[in-house]
Structure 1
Amino acid sequence: MSAELQFSASDSASAALRASVAGHSLATAQWCARLGWPVHPLAAGRKTPASNCRDCRTPGHTAAGCACLSAGRWCHGFHAATLDQRRIDHWWSKHPEFGVGVACGPAGLVVIDIDAHEAQPPARDRLLPGIPIGDHVDLTGISTGFHTIAVLAALRGMPSPAEDTTTLRVRTPSGGMHVWYRAGDPRRWQCSAGSSQGRALAWQVDVRAHGGYIIAPGTTTSAGTYKVLGEVRQPAVLPGWLAQELERTGHLPAPSVPAPRPVPPRARQAVLAAGGGADTDRLLAAVLAPVAACAQVSEGAGFSDTLNRAAYTLGGLVAAGRLTQESAERALTETAATARPGQDRRAEQIIRSGLAAGLRRPLNPGSRR
């Protein structure tokens, strides 16, 4: 371990912190991965990702050109996030002092990060972006993100996310709060900072989504521990009113229509080799096309749901005698590997579950799910 990542034996505070988190971080990382949340290490006692090579500190060095990622080493923060339990066990067993970060985009999460640092509010047009606040409105007492998100919710006739007891909420060491939600659909919600003069939901309210990460509950830093509030341990679906506010404030990318992506030849050959005719081949291409199209983006795109639907449909075709289970599994595996390389174990679980469900409901020719 590099000196940067080690705790000094002479530093009693750091030594105590290491003792308190040893074993807990691995359990936290494993728990997150079981929920389908890819995880990556955070530097010991800090909120920032752990580095793994000197090149990471070199200007111009990017995740795309880093050998660490292809070798299965942590590097570049959420770009290294994984669901692989063996890799997770290796990383955190060797470095129990590491914290746990969750890559929000691949996990399908939208986290509202509410800041509690009291400060003088900014100009009125930046308090709630896009919502004019007249000079006659008294802003006395507004000094944190808890105030601004409460005002926004009240304007929409809704309770503040900070008071949402139906979802996972985490108290931060600084007194702020992380309110966790599931996206609920494949839209790629974008990150933002509440202090930004560009995209922002509310002053002192950050949004963690695609292109960002969130600190896992239970993680301990030099400032304290991220503690779950209440009894709820799972994120609820992002409320409709909040999704509308995020869309209004520019938290979606510009609309784009990806070019059609062909189904991998080996996937189609698997069916043809099993005796599938031209009709089956065309049907297979139609079923697998949405899975193949997920390769157009590096994360998100509703990959898990898309692969599950394809597996369910092919399971129904297997049950109806249109193709063999072996050829269906091979076609799904080949297509998933092309769309999401390096996620074989996750894809295998989804395929197995989807096929099993589809096998119980034969799909007659011409029918649709």
Structure 2
Amino acid sequence: MNQTSPPTEQPTRGRTNPLGPLDNLEDYVMHDSTTNPSVNLHVAIDWSSLGYKVFPCRADNKRPHIKKWQDLASADPEQINQWWDRWPEAMPGLHVGSAGFLVLDVDVSKGKNGPETLKALETKHGPLPSTWLAKTPSGGYHYYFRAPQGVELKNTVSKLGRGLDTRAGNGFVILPGSVGESGAYEWVSTGAELAPAPDWIIDKVRKDEEPATPAVEYKPGQEPGNDEFARQALAEAVKAVSEAEGGERNDTLNAKAVRVFGMAKANRLDRAEVHAQLEEAAIAAGLEADETAGTLASAWKGAKPRTEGLRPSPEEMFDAVAEPEFVYVGEMHKVYHWPSGRFWPLEGFYSVLKLRTKEKKDDARESLPHVATIDFAPGEPRVFRDGKLPVLNTWRGLEVQGSDADPGPWLEHLHRLVGNQDEAEHLLNWMAFTIQRPGVKINHGVLMMGEPGNGKDTLFQPLRRALGTAAADVKGEDMLRDFNQYLVGAKLLVIQEANLGNRKDASNISNQLKDLFSAPPETLSVNIKHVAPFNVRNLCSVVVLSNMEVPLMVERGDRRIFAIRTAFRVRDNDGRLFDWTPDYFSQLWHWLEEEGGNAAVVGYLLHRDVTGFNPKAQPPTTEYHDELRESSVEPLERLALEWAKEQVQGATVSPKDAYEELHQRPMLLRECGLKELPALNIVSRKFAAAGVIEAVKVRQGDSVVRAWRILHGGKSAIDYSFLD
């Protein structure tokens, strides 16, 4: 979907009857002006099916749930379902520019009389063409027009007249058919096609070229446009505006805008970027859009070029320090501790230095090398550029270089664990490729299961030592938490004590881990407490270790996991350690850590021929992998398959009737691992994902109703043998 060729089809949801002539409309629409997860998700899916990019917005104040929605808005149904699983009451917003639209917002709230303003303009310019028209909960209207190709348009507040706003480019509107806390957005039936935007509106919302700002003389070593002091000043301004309270908000916005607009006039920041970030922060803090626009316009007019804080480029500062202890990271507003690879809050940094006054703290921060962000980027220099922004490369190279010594004790241990020769060879190639080609993602992880204490973790110790701070260990339960700092700079991620396969949410956990095991996605989002989310390259090799029979749910058709059941036993049938066990592991550990064993293994892996190893290929199937797939069918999928056995292939059934029938069969639900049946829309989605039904519309008398068509009914259509 792009602005040059927008579709002209209008989604049906949100007309007078949002879901068409359905008998069970009450199942989908709530008429008490409360939010409705079902209808809002259906609206989002309907629009996305036509290629429109949508994203979730809060039901109470219409603000986006996600940051950088302009870049993340999506037409991917899987992404949309993930968003609505997280925010079920969200209203779908439409990225207006990507849709190729210009939307005229005729506002009647807070004393505005947009219809009267529009009527006066129509008297002057002629009536608006008949086009798509939607009514807002406040009683206003959204006129949808096709935006002209090749013309950059902007959002405006009251530029056409009081009560008339426009949304274009990087603007958004709530989609017709949505229901929020203030009411519903509904189509007004006009029978019209999408009309081109009138020229008189285009002339008012076209982005004008800005006059060049006066040049400023820079200090030696400072590259124009590469000014981290200015970028940090912008970040601090945005933070201050977003946290301002009550009557301080507009004054804070004005003061901060004057300062950073001054830096923009000195060619140190981009004016449009400054305006966009401050505008978003001000509106999020509770300022009205028109008040924000006026304050920013006044601040730009009054700002003078500012040159304070200019410093040498980050590359120059790094060249002067062989191994910096601390680096200031502007995007996170934190200090990165190079030796440990951890972030420090600024106050912690100041405390270590025993700094008390603001002046001393500012001087200490300014003395540090400054970068915009960090990334794990093997092959790049320690500081490299992403466009104009300096980025700190956390990859330090191998910390154990390897030797020519005999790796025999470690190889013997590997073959004790992995009795199958083919599986052992693949595992060796996987490990060798990880350290030989750290800049390449291997598109499958290793899952190793076996009895407690048999040396699974010890097997990967040489890789940890070689990768140093680029190796991270986490527990299985850590994968369920919101924060994931362990991804920063990680080439090897070892997940210990995984026991995630028998949880109720095992399927969701499995989906969350998919991105870790393979690429795309090419980047992973990092969430650290008190730090705005940022992305790092998806290059980590993932190992999952467990003593549990089903540590993860493995889907049918999975191509992301190389699963090994270890054969090495260190306990007798009563669970007692064999007499030789303690000595075996103490000797192996002493050889690795004290006698150069780690270096011997690293040397062996660095010299191993991996020319035949394809990191993007599907891993070999193992007997244990097949067992996991058979035991990992989630309860709703199992219910779908069992239910389908009783159906006639090609028939259509009423979703509501089928749902009620399943409700009356508690024994079947229990056999499939369900205590209760989730909502109908979830059942419908899961049954479709299992491949047993597809959602269709069928005519019933004079009405069109929703139905399920049975894709695979009876035993002959699907192989259910793995369920027996």
For this structure pair, what is the TM-score category when the shorter chain's length is used for normalisation? 0.3 to 0.5
Higher normalized strand content (fraction of residues): 2
Task: State the structure with more CA Rg.
Answer: 2
Q: Which has the higher contact order (CA 8 A, sep 6+)?
A: 1
Provide TM-score, normalisation by structure 1. Answer: 0.45
